[in-house]
Structure 1
Amino acid sequence: MLRLDHVTKVFRIGAFGGRTVTAVRDVSFDVVPGEVVSLIGESGSGKSTIGRMILGLNPATSGSITYDGRPARAGKEYYRHVQGIFQDPFSSFNPVFKADRVFAMIKDSYHPGVPAPEWDERVRAALRDVRLDPGQVLGKFPHQLSGGQLQRLLIARALLLDIKLLVADEITSMLDASTRIDVLNLLAELKTRGLGVLYITHDLSLGNYLAERTIVLRQGTVVEMGPTERVFGDPLHPYTRELLSAVPRLHEDWADADAVDTCLYHERGASGGLLEAGPGHFVACARLTTC
């Protein structure tokens, strides 16, 4: 469905754009229908930049992004199937418009021929799908709703667009624990209907809870990716081990990351790209900045 091939993003910085910074370097992966792929890394690792490129908000400097075998281009037809939800749900709503307005805009742009009664029923069905009571959210201003309600409103809006791929960028980071689990369970339910999800997060525990595959980014480069149980159960890159060691555990002291004296990448004589260390499990050189 979605495919990134050797995607790189370089930003020009400085007063006259005389300097450059590479935010994403030579990234390749795919997302298929009915699958959640978690994109994990610390702040500044390039996760959100990848999400914005997929959504057409930033163009890739090199490489290609394709959807269903065709170049992914921002536009009405593309957004009918590919949507994004971001960290702060309050910033996604105009504070002077009630929630009804969000759905009215979808109808005007994508479903102008649908009769009003039929559209109203579609909206109510979409709200019920995301576990919202239409009577409690329609007719309300954004400030009258919680963060969790607003995030689910955005998911309901996406469902009305015949969405096939959702880019979920840190969508639970501003929610309390109980609401966070509700939203994650909703995404898990939607993937059983064939929705593909790129779940961008810095929280490993949430990625482990939700995703079939995990991609670990460091400084804009993929350092490890594969089935989630392999990446979490047998991490091969020292950065992945460092991230896992930083996850708090009840009744345990935090431990330092395991020391790495050798690099599997060099032990096996790999050269360039990612080494397939096991079925579907890829790892980069541990000496990322020197190789």
Structure 2
Amino acid sequence: MNRGKVLISGRQLTKVFGYGLNKTTAVNEVSFQFHEGEIISIVGESGSGKTTLAKIIMGLLNETGGAIEYKGKPRKLRSHKDRKEYWKDIQAIFQDPFSSFNIFHKVDKLLTDCIKLQGLKLTKEQQLQKMKDACSFVNLKFEELYNKYPFELSGGQMQRLMIARIFMLHPKVLIADEPTSMVDACSRSTILDMLLKLREENNMTIIFITHDVGLAYYVSDTIYIMEKGCIVEHGQAEEVILRPKHPYTRQLISDVPKIHEAWNLA
């Protein structure tokens, strides 16, 4: 791919939980550079620190050490106003869609909040059309959902609704943490297609957080392999997967038969 300029970068990011003998280093001096329009996968097994890193990038967790730059400047998240501005540009889709929505708010309120976050001054008719367009993009009918609560929807509908929010918000960066792990294979393919279409239309940077090496290989421009809080290998997807250098990367690939065969042929 022709990579754009660096959009968001991290330098020696560290996150420590607990104190003394109970101290755990979940992220250990991790550095990265993510470019405009780039698809990145951060790959590792459960407990590798990848979700903690995602939450730091998202601004949901404070780093213990290191720093993040956004658009070439140190990231500021000190005030509510700072965070609101940052979250206009950086959004996330999490593994469990039900934990991402207020269960006491109906669908129309969840989507209206997206318009409020953007600070758009729209008439009720314009707001309604924007919500209908977002639902249509993810093959949902607003008329059938607007009056329902999250617990009245299926997991697949909730995942699509999360993508509808992204369609409305047009963020510059999307963090997708295991976004297809709770849906069937058919829905998984559809959701990935929707995310990739958003990337094409908006030049959006997508950061996949996943344990799925196959997914990472097929959708990513760049892959970061994470083990025990550290980035042990990174580079272009094909280089990392077909010519892995680190033993942990080789171990991950050996668990995926088709990629393992491609690796042996390379």
Cα distance in structure 1, aligned partners of 2:105 and 2:120: 20
Cα distance in structure 1, aligned partners of 2:232 and 2:117: 41
Aligned partner (choices 30, 48, 52) of residue 45 of structure 1:
48
Q: How does 1:60-139 map to 2 (within 5 A)?
A: 60-74=63-77, 75-111=83-119, 113-139=121-147
* Partner amino acid, structure 2, of 1:187: L
| SS of residue paired to 1:37 | strand
How far the C-alpha of 1:248 sits from its partner, in A, is: 4.5
Cα distance in structure 2, aligned partners of 1:70 and 1:159: 26
* Partner amino acid, structure 1, of 2:196: A
Q: How does 1:112-191 map to 2 (within 5 A)?
A: 113-191=121-199
Q: How does 1:259-278 map to 2 (within 5 A)?
A: none
* Partner amino acid, structure 2, of 1:230: E
Match of 2:208 in 1: 199
Moved more, 32-41 or 135-144: 135-144
Match of 2:17 in 1: 11
Q: TM-score, normalised by structure 2?
A: 0.87
Cα distance in structure 2, aligned partners of 1:83 and 1:202: 20
How far the C-alpha of 1:71 sits from its partner, in A, is: 2.5
Q: TM-score, normalised by structure 1?
A: 0.80
Q: How does 1:251-290 map to 2 (within 5 A)?
A: none
Match of 2:8 in 1: 2
Give the number of aligned pairs: 250
How far the C-alpha of 1:112 sits from its partner, in A, is: 5.4
Percent of matched pairs sharing the same residue: 40
CA contact (8 A) 2:16 2:24 kept: yes
Q: CA RMSD in A?
A: 2.1
Cα distance in structure 2, aligned partners of 1:138 and 1:50: 34
Greater Rg, structure 1 or structure 2?
1
How far the C-alpha of 1:249 sits from its partner, in A, is: 5.2
Q: Tell me the alpha carbon deviations over residues 235-274 of structure 1, each in whole angstroms, 9 at most, x when there is no partner.
A: 1111100001012559xxx99xx9xxxxxxxxxxxxxxxx
* Partner amino acid, structure 2, of 1:5: R
> Do the aligned partners of residues 190 and 162 (structure 1) sit closer, same or farther apart at CA in structure 2, a change above 3 Å counting?
closer
Moved over 4 A (4+): none
Match of 1:234 in 2: 243
CA contact (8 A) 2:167 2:198 kept: no
CA contact (8 A) 1:124 1:134 kept: yes
Higher relative contact order (CA 8 A, sep 6+): 2
Cα distance in structure 1, aligned partners of 2:74 and 2:139: 35
| SS of residue paired to 1:155 | helix
Cα distance in structure 1, aligned partners of 2:163 and 2:225: 25
CA contact (8 A) 1:98 1:140 kept: yes
How far the C-alpha of 1:134 sits from its partner, in A, is: 2.1
Structure 1 position 218 matched with structure 2 position 227: yes
Q: Tell me the alpha carbon deviations over residues 60-116 of structure 1, each in whole angstroms, 9 at most, x when there is no partner.
A: 111111111122334111111101111101111222322111012233343352211
Q: Tell me the alpha carbon deviations over residues 135-184 of structure 1, each in whole angstroms, 9 at most, x when there is no partner.
A: 33322222232212211211221232231100111111111111111111
* Higher helix proportion: 2
Cα distance in structure 2, aligned partners of 1:212 and 1:2: 16
Which 5+ residue runs of structure 2 have no aligned equivalent? 1-6, 78-82
How far the C-alpha of 1:130 sits from its partner, in A, is: 2.6
Moved more, 175-184 or 124-133: 124-133
Which 5+ residue runs of structure 1 have no aligned equivalent? 259-291
> Do the aligned partners of residues 21 and 122 (structure 1) sit closer, same or farther apart at CA in structure 2, a change above 3 Å counting?
same
